[in-house]
Amino acid sequence: MIAPAFIAILFSGFLFFDAMAILARVSASSIERNAFGATMEKMMSTLKRLMIFSYPPILGYLIVTGDTSSIFRAIFSSYALGSAVIILVYLNRRRFYRYFAAVTFHFDHGGSALSSMKSAFSNRRSIEGCDESVFGSAKVATAFMNNHKLLMFSSWIFFVHGSAIFLINLIALKFSDYAPIILQSLGVINGLGTLVMAFLVDPVVSRFLDRRIELDQVAQVIVGAQFLASSVLGPTLFGLLYFVV
């Protein structure tokens, strides 16, 4: 039970920092600091990668022991906890907007990136030039309908990135003789998601951020895509595989 719990916690951390990346960019865009927003996105993405590369060794241990039931327990626990984390992020997204705006404010006034992140916790209200009306407001259904292509492509990306490690390890368990070859294909699978991100998603998001329009809508769509991938697409795939592996 300990190994699946650790995997679920680390996977949820991966989803959390992935969501923080878009909220940081949106917040910085609201006060016309897109360059620093990109820097904060990179910081959040670095923490995200730290999370996603921390649990494969634990998953590998379960693969070596052949404990299939624990592997699926880890997968479904990860998606359940990750979905809960995404819901909490969505419900509290405006607090995160204000936090990252405070980080940007402190950075603009000479603080380092790390000290600005620390200072923003205790001094979130001392924000100049942050007009929350810039974020706008829209019901989630409206945001999804207005940006359905962005939602579709983003869901694909988060589905691929979130499921790839689990999927590759399950296939390696099923075809153990070819495990070294199978495990080396992880980069190819992730690369498919990265291609969609680079050429179809990032340019659309950048247009919203540069024009400072519908900022809350684009954040809702990206976070909503993460929820769709972790609560529907991922569990559906591994629910089907449960009866095969």
Spatial separation of the C-alpha atoms in residues 216 and 81, rounded to whole Å: 24
User: What's the pTM value of the predicted model, to 2 decimals?
Assistant: 0.91
Non-local (6+) Cβ contacts of 102 within 8 A are 119, 120, 123, 124, 125, 126, 127
Of 234, 230, 158, which Cα lies nearest the Cα of 201? 158
pLDDT at 9: 96
Of 148, 184, 155, 153, which Cα lies nearest the Cα of 168? 184
Spatial separation of the C-alpha atoms in residues 241 and 221, rounded to whole Å: 28
DSSP state of 200: I
Question: 35: left (phi > 0), else alpha (psi -120 to 50), else beta?
Answer: alpha
DSSP state of 128: S
Measured CA distances, 121 to 88, 95, 104 (Å): 18, 11, 12
Residue 99 C-beta-side C-alpha neighbours within 13 Å: 15
Report residue 195 CA to chain centroid gap.
16
Residue 188 C-beta-side C-alpha neighbours within 13 Å: 7
Question: pLDDT digits over 221-244, tens only?
Answer: 999 999 999 999 999 999 999 987
How do the domains of the chain map onto residue ranges?
A: 2-242
| pLDDT above 80 for 206 | yes
Question: pLDDT digits over 96-152, tens only?
Answer: 998 998 898 889 888 888 888 888 877 645 555 455 665 666 666 677 778 888 999
Non-local (6+) Cβ contacts of 129 within 8 A are 31, 105
Contact 93/223 with Cβ under 8 angstroms? yes
Spatial separation of the C-alpha atoms in residues 161 and 53, rounded to whole Å: 12
Question: pLDDT digits over 22-47, tens only?
Answer: 999 999 988 889 899 999 999 999 99
